[in-house]
Amino acid sequence: MTRGPAAPGWPSASPPPGCDWLSWELSDVAELPRVREELRRSPVVDGTADLRDRLVLVLDEMASNALRHGGGCVEAAVRRTGDAFLVAVSDGDARTPPTPAVDRDPSEGGLGLYLIAELSTAHGWYADGTAKTVWAVLPPL
C-alpha cells in the first residue's frame, strides 16, 4: 500500500478495520439507485433513519465520484467498525488523490468531498497497486 500526497482536507491514511459488510461492484452511475435501496433495507445497518440517510448520501457521493473520475473498476463497501460505519470506495486511478473543489461556484458541483468530511468522524484515502480507496467513518449519532 502506498500513500500519495494529501489532498486539502483529505489525509492519505488507512481506514480502521471493519466487519459485517455490504459490497457492490459498479460500472455505471445508473446502478446507484439500486445500491441506495439495498443499503437502506440492509439489516447490517441497524441504526436510525438519519444514520441510513447519511450512509446513503456518503456512499452515493463517493461512488458517483469514482464512477465519473476514477478510471473504472469501482468497488463500494459499507462495514461496521465498533459502533460506527466505514464507507469505502475504490477505483482504478491510483495516481489521482481525491480533490475537493477549491474556489468554485457551488452551482458547478464538486462539493461532495467537503460534505463527506463534515458528516464523518474520520476520512482519508490510500493507493494500493492500481487502485485508490477513499473512505469515511460515520458515527451512529
Helix residue ranges per DSSP H, 21-133? 32-41, 49-69, 112-119
Domains belonging to the chain, first-starting first, are: 19-138 (3.30.565.10)
Residue 1 has pLDDT above 60, yes or no: no
Average pLDDT score, the chain: 85
Q: What residues are paired with 77 via a beta bridge?
A: 23, 88
Provide the pLDDT for residue 49: 87
Give residue for cell 458517483: 64
Provide the pLDDT for residue 113: 87
Helices and strands per DSSP (H, E), number in the chain: 3, 5
Residue 128 has pLDDT above 50, yes or no: yes
Contact 132, 90 (CB under 8 A): yes
Provide the pLDDT for residue 47: 72
Contact 39, 58 (CB under 8 A): no
- Mean pLDDT, to the nearest integer, of 130-139? 93
pLDDT 10s digits, 45-100: 877 889 999 999 999 999 999 998 887 789 999 998 888 999 999 999 998 888 87
Contact 91, 74 (CB under 8 A): yes
Give residue for cell 441504526: 47
pLDDT band at 108 (very low <50, low <70, confident <90, very high): low
